[in-house]
Amino acid sequence: MRMTCARSSLIFCNLMAVYLDHNASSPMHPEVVDAILPFLQNPTGNPSSLHSFGRMARSAVESARNEVAQLLNCSSNAVIFTSGGTESNNLLLKGFVDKSENRPVISSEIEHPSIIEPLKQLAQALPVILLPCNAQGQIDPEQAAEVISTADAQLMSIIYANNETGVIQPLEALIDMVDRDRCLVHSDATQVVGKLPLDMNQLKLDALSFSAHKLQGPQGIGALVIDRKPRELLHSGGEQENRKRAGTENVAMIVGLGKAAQLARLELDQKKHHLLQLQQVFESRLAAIPGSQVFGQKATRLPNTTYFALPYYHGETLLMELDRAGFALSSGSACHSEVTLPSHVLSAMGVDANLALNAVRVSFGMSNTLQEVEMLINKLQELVNKLPAVIRQVAV
Residue ranges in contact with ligand PMP by CB under 6 A: 84-86, 112, 114, 159, 163, 188, 190-191, 211, 213, 222
Q: Which residues does residue 108 pair with via DSSP β-bridges, in sequence order?
A: 131
Question: What count of Cα atoms within 13 Å lies in the side-chain half-sphere of residue 133?
Answer: 29
In this structure, which amino acid lies at residue 19?
Y
24 versus 123: smaller Cβ distance to ligand PMP: 24
Question: What count of Cα atoms within 13 Å lies in the side-chain half-sphere of residue 394?
Answer: 7
211 versus 304: smaller Cβ distance to ligand PMP: 211
Asked if 367 contacts 356 with a C-beta cutoff of 8 angstroms, the reply is no
Using DSSP, state whether 65 is helix, strand or coil: helix
Report how far residue 146's alpha carbon sits from residue 141's, in angstroms, rounded to the nearest whole number.
Answer: 9
Using DSSP, state whether 108 is helix, strand or coil: strand
Report how far residue 283's alpha carbon sits from residue 380's, in angstroms, rounded to the nearest whole number.
Answer: 12
Please state the closest distance from residue 130 (CB atom) to ligand PMP, in A.
16
Please state the closest distance from residue 213 (CB atom) to ligand PMP, in A.
6
Please state the closest distance from residue 211 (CB atom) to ligand PMP, in A.
3
Query: End-to-end CA distance of the chain, in Å?
Result: 33
47 versus 84: smaller Cβ distance to ligand PMP: 84
Question: From the CA atom positions of the chain, what is the Rg in Å?
Answer: 22
Please state the closest distance from residue 394 (CB atom) to ligand PMP, in A.
35
- Verify whether residue 335 is a known catalytic residue: yes
84 versus 230: smaller Cβ distance to ligand PMP: 84
Residues 6+ apart with CB under 8 A from 46: 54, 57, 248
Please state the closest distance from residue 313 (CB atom) to ligand PMP, in A.
24
Report how far residue 318's alpha carbon sits from residue 357's, in angstroms, rounded to the nearest whole number.
Answer: 11
47 versus 85: smaller Cβ distance to ligand PMP: 85
Catalytic residue set = 335
